[in-house]
Structure formats: C-alpha cells, structure tokens
Amino acid sequence: MSTNCKLIENGPLEVSGDFEILDTKGIKIESEKTVYLCRCGSSKNKPFCDGSHKSTGFSG
Amino acid sequence: MNNPNDRQYSNGEITVFWKPAKCIHATTCFRELLDVYNPRKRPWVNMQGATTERIIEVTDKCPTQAIYWKYNKDLSEAEKAGNQSHDPDNEVNPEVLHQEKQPLRPKTTIRIMPDGPLLLEGDFQLTGEDGKEIKTMVMTSVCRCGNTLSPPFCDGTHRKTGFKD
C-alpha cells in the first residue's frame, strides 16, 4: 500500500497509509495512522493542523 | 571554495551551475522542466532537453539558487575549465544525495523542513479532496507557510515572509 496525501481544500494535508514523519531535527514523530498537517502557517500545534485555517481564511 | 559535489552543465551557450548544499528540494526545477532536470537520470541535468530561453526561465525560479546560470561568454577561466572536466562515474543527483543520508525507510517519508515546506519522498499519491490525483511524483515539497504563489507546492516564499515554526 502506498501513501495517500490528500489536499483538503483551504485546509491541511491529510496523510494516510505507510509513512513516517520526521521533525525539523530529523527525529521521528510518533503519530496516528492518519494525520493532518498544517498548510496555512498559523497552527499553534505545528506541524499538525489545529483548525486555525478556518479563522485566518486560508485559501489554497 | 568549491564543494566537491558542485556540478556545472553547458549547452555551449549558457552554463547551469548546481550547488547541492543549497538545495532545499523545493522541486520547482523538475516539476516544470523534467526534460532538462530529471533526478532519476545521470547526469540529472540534460542541457539539450529544452531551449536556452526555457532553461533560463525555470532555473531562475529556484528559490535558493541551488541552480543558477551564466552565459558562457561571461564565465571566468576556472568556470570554463569546469565545463571540460566531466567525470561520468562521479555524477550525483538530488535523490542519490538524499538516499545516502537516509537508508531504510517506510514507503513515504515526510520531512518537516525547519521554517520551510513539507518534503514528501517515496511512494505516494498527491490528490485533491475529490481523490483525483494531482501529479505522480517521487519527491515534492508542499507549502507549509500558507503564502506560496503556486499552491499546494512550495515556491520559496517562506524565506521572504520570514515564516517560523
């Protein structure tokens, strides 16, 4: 099974399947089977989405 | 001082210089011009793959100037000499450099680049919300700062806006 990376409109990137996430220092982040990664730049819980895109009116 | 991994490629009219240490894998070059910039090939730069004008246009989009170009008539003597000394057995490309650093991995590795994009690498599909595939790639970078002018991909804007993690 490959990895599915789905762009949620005006929202985060949904990642599911066989993957791993490495943080800014290259250290593996333990995560759920499906994660939502911030694309708007405003999350307080980077790299994960915290819903901030809704209040900032992110489009993309 | 030149880095031993630095490379240069010429079509007789211009020379493209590649400095892998500066590459943040924004992937702009091979998304836009695979006939010239193909990380699956060695050498990964084929200067015969497009017109000089087109190569200049795409090379100028590199957000970090990991690739940049000069007219051959403007080259220094040392740079001219660099165009003569190509050792095909000593070719490197962006993917190989990465693999050397990261040996065994799951299907896809997602790297959070500091104050920068998400770097996706491996066996993945990038799809829209409707599940339709946008593009099949082995490596790409997705904007994380929210300000890219070519969403969903990184275009280097995070450097101008000073995006911080």
Q: What is the pLDDT of residues A21-48, one digit of tens each?
A: 999 998 999 988 999 999 999 999 999 9
Instruction: Give the pLDDT score at B121.
Output: 87
Tell me if chain B has a CB within 8 Å of the CB of A48: no
* Cα–Cα distance measured from residue B90 to residue B150, given in angstroms and rounded to the nearest whole number: 34
H helices of A1-60, in order, are 52-56
Instruction: Give the pLDDT score at B88.
Output: 57
Q: Which of A3, A5, A41 sits opposite B147 (nearest CB)?
A: A41
* Cα–Cα distance measured from residue B30 to residue B153, given in angstroms and rounded to the nearest whole number: 13
Residue of B nearest to A23 (CA): B112
Instruction: Give the pLDDT score at B65.
Output: 86
Residues of A in contact with B114 (CB under 8 A): 24
Q: Which pTM does this prediction carry?
A: 0.65
Q: Which of B106, B113, B128 sits opposite A20 (nearest CB)?
A: B106
* Cα–Cα distance measured from residue A13 to residue B144, given in angstroms and rounded to the nearest whole number: 10
Element (H, E) at B78: helix B77-84
* B32 CB neighbour count, 10 Å cutoff: 16
Tell me the CB-side half-sphere exposure of residue B102, using CA atoms within 13 A: 17
Q: How confident is the model at residue B86 (pLDDT cuts 50, 70, 90)?
A: low
pLDDT at position B109 over 60: yes
Test A22 with B123 for CB contact under 8 angstroms: no
pLDDT at position B94 over 80: no
Residues of B in contact with A17 (CB under 8 A): 107-108, 124
Test B146 with A37 for CB contact under 8 angstroms: no
The β-bridge partners of B111 are A22, B119
Q: Which residue has the higher pLDDT, B135 or A38?
A: A38
Q: How confident is the model at residue B1 (pLDDT cuts 50, 70, 90)?
A: very low
Q: For B162, left (φ over 0), alpha (ψ -120 to 50), or beta?
A: left
Closest C-alpha among B155, B154, B66 to residue B112: B154
pLDDT digit string, tens, across residues B17-66:
999 888 877 788 988 899 999 988 888 999 999 999 999 999 998 877 89
Instruction: Give the pLDDT score at B87.
Output: 61
